[in-house]
């Protein structure tokens, strides 16, 4: 099974500039159409309660219930764009989120500045609750969080932690190489994984498929973290101004000559499918 590790769905389009079809463009039915055309079996819905989408957890739960086994909710909790960001009580809010939505995982967007929350008592209790509930955790984590993040991964080895979009090293203020130096570490932390997506972030020509100048980042992760710690994602519908859903799938297949066919199959579903089945989220 091909599994998409990072998608969004919206009952109304939250991004700027406005679009003429704001009530339909980001809806789950359009994602499912693209998945069907590309042969993708399941996708994680990474909810984000950004501006104009404060009800995104509710919509994610609604469509995941209708399309059970194909769309799997990853509920947003306490992300940097909300009022509860690193406010006391995160573990209790996580428990309430689990009880209300029964998601397969939770998503947390970290701010650019590392405030030490990951290693705080509050942060550790949050991750302990997530591990005990057999959740996946996905994080938007800029490179300066990674020393702390490795500590969390070691402390909670039963908790899969997936970081978004090649660890967004493309957006590091001192350049990609500086970002990679912070993120890459030859220490084996098998439960810390990276989503292979978002090639266009910070790109001067974000439409410039197949992003051959970004593939060295993918190669660096393959050589340092290993393909077993890499999961493919499309970033639908954020990709739409730049390239198609099918192209998101084909980048690695057609242009990453440093990966074998078995490597690509593992990245594009094998690893994540195993994690989901082990936790009873796929039958």
Place of tokens 């500039």: 17
Partners of 3 in beta bridges: 42
Q: Are the beta carbons of 113 and 129 closer than 8 angstroms? A: no
How many residues can be counted in the chain?
283
Task: Count helices and strands (H / E) in the chain.
Answer: 10, 8
The closest of 221, 216, 79 to 143, measured between CA atoms, is 221
Q: Which residue has the higher pLDDT, 186 or 193?
A: 193
Q: What's the rounded Cα separation, in Å, for the pair 283 and 277?
A: 7
With a cut of 90, say whether residue 185 has pLDDT above it. no
pLDDT band at residue 159 using 50, 70 and 90 as cut-offs: very high
With a cut of 90, say whether residue 226 has pLDDT above it. yes
With a cut of 90, say whether residue 220 has pLDDT above it. yes
Look at domain 3-278 and name its CATH class.
alpha beta
Return the pLDDT at 186.
72
If you average pLDDT over every residue of the chain, what do you get? 97
pLDDT tens-place string over residues 26-84: 999 999 999 999 999 999 999 999 999 999 999 999 999 999 999 999 999 999 999 99
pTM of the model: 0.97
């Amino acid at each position: 099974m091909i599994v998409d590790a990072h998608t969004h769905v919206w009952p109304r389009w939250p991004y700027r500039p406005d679009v003429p079809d704001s009530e339909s463009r980001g809806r789950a039915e359009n994602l499912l159409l693209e998945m069907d055309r590309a042969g993708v079996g399941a996708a994680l819905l990474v909810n984000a309660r950004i501006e104009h989408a404060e009800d995104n957890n509710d919509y994610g739960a609604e469509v995941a219930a209708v399309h059970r086994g194909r769309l799997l909710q990853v509920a947003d909790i306490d992300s940097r764009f909300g009022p509860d960001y690193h406010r006391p009580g995160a573990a209790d809010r996580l428990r309430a989120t689990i009880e209300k939505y029964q998601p397969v995982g939770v998503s947390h967007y970290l701010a650019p500045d590392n405030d030490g929350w990951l290693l705080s008592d509050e942060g550790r209790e949050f991750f302990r609750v997530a591990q005990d509930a057999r959740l996946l955790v996905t994080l938007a984590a800029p490179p300066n969080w990674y020393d702390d993040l490795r500590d969390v991964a070691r402390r909670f080895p039963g908790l899969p932690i997936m970081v978004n979009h090649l660890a967004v090293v493309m957006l590091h203020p001192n350049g990609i190489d500086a970002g990679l130096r912070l993120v890459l570490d030859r220490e084996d932390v098998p439960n810390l994984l990276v989503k292979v997506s978002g090639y266009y972030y910070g790109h001067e020509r974000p439409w410039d498929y197949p992003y051959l100048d970004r593939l060295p980042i993918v190669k660096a992760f393959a050589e340092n973290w290993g393909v077993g710690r890499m999961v493919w994602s499309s970033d639908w519908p954020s990709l739409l101004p730049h390239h198609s859903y099918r192209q998101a799938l084909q980048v690695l297949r057609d242009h990453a000559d440093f990966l074998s066919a078995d490597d690509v199959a593992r990245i594009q579903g094998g690893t994540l499918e195993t994690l989901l089945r082990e936790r009873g989220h796929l039958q």
